[in-house]
Structure 1
Amino acid sequence: MGIQFNDETFRNDYTYRNSPAGLARFPFPFPEDEYMYSVNIEPHTPGRKGSVFEHSFDVDEHYVSEMKDRARVLAEDPLRCQSLPHMTLAGWDLLELIMESKARDYPDMFELHKNGNKWRWVNKPLGIDDTFTFLDESTLPYGPMEYITRQAQGDFTLQDQREDNLWIEAGMVTSQADWSLDFDIGMSFHEWHAPVPLAGGMGIFDRALKFLLKLQYGAPVRRFNWTMTVDPRLDTAPETYPKWGPSKTTLNMDNVGARQHLRVELQTLYRLPRSNAIVFPIRCYLISFQDLVTVPKWGRRLHRVLQGLPQELAEYKGFARNRELLTNWLAQYDDGAPTSPGWWAED
């Protein structure tokens, strides 16, 4: 296998790290020196070789460790994965999408063999070799959505489309940025986006919903989102706040570079063929400030973004308490030089 998987943890001793190759492909989310919440949707088409956009579902050096962390979260709180009964077909749609994509894009790691409805799935990194009957839930150890998302990086929600709206009614959510599947399940599109500030009286989401209701099968889209987290912890759910929330009070100028992380979400949306549901994969990437500033353009740009960010967004992104500390630390890496448009590293 071409990818060398890290042996790392996202809790307690926090041995998570990005290799030089991982840093080079990190999806820095800011194309300009200022930021305002927007839909910023573009077609999810294959990107340049080696980038996080190269394949439909990115698999990187953190894959095995992230799947181990997911299993730990689910063992502690099974409600992180839920699916209402009518969403089972959408789960099969998602299983097929991920299996076909990974077998096509990473043939050295994943195999999918079909003989009618008799399928064999091989996941070499996780040591899985299962044969099952497609659309027969009794032939899998879990429901179809849970089975495949235990083997896929990032979180997933499934939206049912009805009444000219989208309803979040299934999901696997173990690496979220301070939101709860158990709280949101059953909500409509506007209800689960209600906490977002400065959204133009939700007008931005009116437009986004109108667009998504017309999303076509075979034409997925993507966007970036971002937030902050202290320490490289994937599971920052409200349910576990007592474990990670107090860490915000422990930063100082000596440790902020190593402990403060930019948390970037590559969000994609796919229309599913049989159920007509929409799947919303949310892939999380983490980078420490001390690694981020090794790319001079990124260090300068993040300093400027955080300086100019409206206070409401700093609160929503979870770093208002430490905003002055973060900007003061980043200031030493901002020489005032202009930065070229685009999120890529090269000036």
Structure 2
Amino acid sequence: MSSGVIDGTAVLPERISRFPFPFPSDSYRYSTNVEPALKTVVTEAGAWGGRLLDIDEHYRHELTERDAVLTRDPTRLQVLPHMRPAVWDAISTLLPIMAAEHPDAMSFDRDGNACRWQNTLQDLDLEFTLGDDGSLPVEPLRFLGSQIQDDIALLDQREGALWLDAGLVTFAADWSFGFDVGMKFLEVHGPVPRVHQEQIITRAQQFLLRLQPGEKYRRANWTMTVDRRLDTSTETYPQWARDRATVAGDPALPDRLHLRVEVQHLIRLPHSGAVLFLVRTHLLSLSDIARVPAWRERLGRVLAELPEDMAEYKGISRYRSAASAWLLGT
């Protein structure tokens, strides 16, 4: 495990040096901001983006948390019947990539449909048959979600549109996968302000419809979260909503408030033709962000300048002024 750059006299920990800080300028507006995957991005603190499936210090903890969420609420995993081949397509696509990117911890061997997956981080040595649900210890999509930290969505293409017809989403940022499953891509993004007037979602769908088999792209999205809470889904709103209203006055705000960045990978699966949408969530406290002076100033300015309708949609309107003031020292 490598360390980050020097910050004063201290070496930055990996949670900072590998964090995907999302702001190239002092203001933010919605955009498609899609770029080829696997391109390393150098930041003021280090770098990120060289892998499709990143593994970090939170690997075991996040997968344990995912399992707990699914146990409490099985609706976070849904696969419409026609999407079963796409799930297996995702498994046969991602496991070899994961093994290639993390050869010290994982390996994948395939002979026809007979596969062997080894994951030393979980003491797992598993033989299974592609396409045979019963050869896995759990439902196929749940198995895939037990190996990667990303949330998973699978979009079917038909009638000239994309449809959210399968997924495993345990770490949603103020939305409900259970409500959205089966909806069109354009309908899922209906509540987002400005994006329809500016045709952003329409352009995004057109881009996805043109994806060729095997092509991989990515984009970043962001919001903020109080405490290190991954599951901020609509279903758990009563558990976290109050914190958004009270954190502005909490002296512990810099430690409690986190910048939440989603690195979203978009992949056209080679056999089923489905679009695989991976969402990896990264959280970093304001205290940690402040250890990188350029990040501290930029985030402070972004929060101060963000239009109110966008701040309201992101759920940050009640504390963004306090956060900005702390970051900028005003």
TM tier relative to shorter chain? over 0.9
Give the Å deviation of 1:28: 0.4
Matched, 1:27 2:20: yes
Matched, 1:121 2:117: yes
- 2:33 aligns with one of 17, 40, 55: 40
Q: Tell me the distance in 2 between the aligned counterparts of 1:161 and 1:226.
A: 27
Q: 8 Å contact 2:114–2:129 — kept in the other structure? A: yes
* Equivalence for 2:264: 267
Q: Which moved more, 1:134-143 or 1:270-279?
A: 134-143
Give the Å deviation of 1:202: 5.7
* Equivalence for 1:137: 133
Supply the AA of the counterpart residue of 1:90: A
* Equivalence for 2:237: 241
* Equivalence for 2:309: 312
Q: 8 Å contact 2:35–2:218 — kept in the other structure? A: yes
Give the Å deviation of 1:253: 5.2
Q: Which moved more, 1:91-100 or 1:137-146?
A: 137-146
Q: TM-score when scaled to structure 1? A: 0.88
Matched, 1:73 2:66: no
Supply the AA of the counterpart residue of 1:275: S
> 3-state SS of the aligned residue for 2:265?
strand
User: Which deviations, in whole Å up to 9, do the C-alpha atoms of 1:274-325 show, x marking residues without a partner?
Assistant: 1100010011000000110110000100111011101011011111111221
> 3-state SS of the aligned residue for 2:205?
helix
Q: Tell me the distance in 1 between the aligned counterparts of 2:218 and 2:318.
A: 30
Q: Which moved more, 1:117-126 or 1:300-309?
A: 117-126
Q: 8 Å contact 1:43–1:220 — kept in the other structure? A: yes
Q: Tell me the distance in 2 between the aligned counterparts of 1:60 and 1:198.
A: 34
User: Which deviations, in whole Å up to 9, do the C-alpha atoms of 1:100-134 show, x marking residues without a partner?
Assistant: 01111101111112222111111111222111111
* Equivalence for 1:290: 287
Number of residue-to-residue matches in the alignment: 318
* Equivalence for 1:16: none
List aligned pairs for 1:1-347, cutoff 5 A. 20-47=13-40, 51-201=47-197, 203-251=199-247, 252=249, 254-332=251-329
Q: 8 Å contact 2:222–2:259 — kept in the other structure? A: yes
The alignment's C-alpha RMSD in Å is: 1.7
Supply the AA of the counterpart residue of 2:34: I
Q: Tell me the distance in 2 between the aligned counterparts of 1:135 and 1:46.
A: 32
User: Which deviations, in whole Å up to 9, do the C-alpha atoms of 1:138-158 show, x marking residues without a partner?
Assistant: 211223222111211121100
Supply the AA of the counterpart residue of 1:163: E
Q: Tell me the distance in 1 between the aligned counterparts of 2:317 and 2:286.
A: 16
> 3-state SS of the aligned residue for 1:321?
coil
Q: Which moved more, 1:50-59 or 1:225-234?
A: 50-59
Q: 8 Å contact 2:268–2:276 — kept in the other structure? A: yes
Q: TM-score when scaled to structure 2? A: 0.92
Q: Tell me the distance in 1 between the aligned counterparts of 2:99 and 2:35.
A: 25
- Any gaps of 5 or more consecutive residues in structure 1? 5-18, 335-347
Q: Tell me the distance in 2 between the aligned counterparts of 1:164 and 1:58.
A: 33
Q: 8 Å contact 1:3–1:60 — kept in the other structure? A: no
Give the Å deviation of 1:200: 4.4
